[in-house]
């Protein structure tokens, strides 16, 4: 897993960009670092005036976790700079030989967020159907005749099972108000 280790940075813009792409895992280190700082700040600014029971208060564990995050961020950065790479996860439907398809990922996340916003005003049956149809569309299904029907059926059945059979309330929305 050792590739080239120390490329002098910034000969040309292209080299720098490819160095960054090669070492994009450093972004994970940055996130871990930020998370560690966040946890530590939160722990250290806690005012523990509430009577503390026992010698270990609510601050101790967050401080340990925050410090751990900082240490791991540093260790991971070291590992990445030495040429270590995290192995991307494989799977039945995963083809790692192709570059990542960011459009699909963003579309899928967007559809999900949209459904989350719509669930209260439109109710679960409609928002859920839109979620399924939208997600299937994002993933490349273009059967206009079939997709919406499957989506509506799935959403209605799920709503009935959860709301009426399992006793887990879901918002019915205007559609259920009419029916």
Shortest gap between Cβ of 8 and other proteins (angstroms)?
25
Residue list 44-103, contact with other proteins (CB under 8 A): 46, 48, 50, 52-58, 61-62, 65, 68-69, 72-73, 75-76, 79, 84-89, 91-96, 98, 100-102
By residue count, the chain amounts to: 179
Stretch that binds other proteins, among 3-11, 15-23, 39-47 (CB under 8 A): 39-47
* Residues 147 and 133 sit within 8 Å (Cβ to Cβ): yes
Shortest gap between Cβ of 22 and other proteins (angstroms)?
13
> In the chain, what's the furthest Cα-to-Cα distance?
69
Residue list 141-170, contact with other proteins (CB under 8 A): 141, 150, 154-155, 158, 162, 165-170
Stretch that binds other proteins, among 4-12, 13-21, 134-142 (CB under 8 A): 134-142
| Minimum CB distance to other proteins smaller for 11 or for 121 | 121
Tokens at 59, concatenated: 């601050």
Residue 116, interface with other proteins (CB under 8 A)? yes
Residue 174, interface with other proteins (CB under 8 A)? no
In order of 3, 25, 42, 99, 140, the CA distances from 108 in angstroms are: 34, 23, 33, 17, 11
If you write DSSP's letter for every residue of 133-170 in order, what string do you get? HHHHHHTT---TTTHHHHHHHHHHHHHHIIIIIS----
Q: How many residues bind other proteins (CB under 8 A)?
A: 82
Any residues with CB less than 8 A from the CB of 23 and at least 6 apart, and which? 80, 81
* Residues 77 and 84 sit within 8 Å (Cβ to Cβ): no
| Minimum CB distance to other proteins smaller for 10 or for 56 | 56
Shortest gap between Cβ of 177 and other proteins (angstroms)?
17
Among 123, 125, 126, 132, binds other proteins (CB under 8 A): 132
């Amino acid at each position: 897993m050792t590739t080239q280790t120390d490329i002098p940075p910034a000969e040309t813009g292209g080299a720098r960009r490819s160095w960054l792409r090669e070492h994009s895992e450093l972004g994970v280190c940055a996130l871990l670092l930020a998370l560690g700082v966040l946890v530590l700040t939160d722990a250290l600014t806690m005012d523990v005036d509430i009577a503390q029971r026992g010698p270990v208060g609510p601050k101790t564990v967050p401080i340990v976790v925050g410090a751990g995050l900082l240490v791991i961020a540093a260790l991971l950065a070291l590992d990445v700079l030495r040429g270590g790479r995290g192995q991307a996860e494989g799977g039945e439907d995963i083809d790692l030989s192709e570059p990542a398809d960011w459009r699909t990922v963003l579309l899928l996340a967007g559809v999900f967020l949209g459904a989350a916003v719509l669930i209260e005003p439109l109710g679960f049956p409609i928002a859920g159907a839109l979620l399924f149809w939208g997600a299937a569309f994002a993933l490349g299904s273009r059967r206009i005749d079939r997709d919406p029907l499957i989506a509506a059926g799935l959403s209605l059945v799920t709503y009935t099972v959860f709301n009426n059979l399992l006793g887990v309330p879901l918002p019915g929305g205007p559609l259920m108000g009419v029916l």
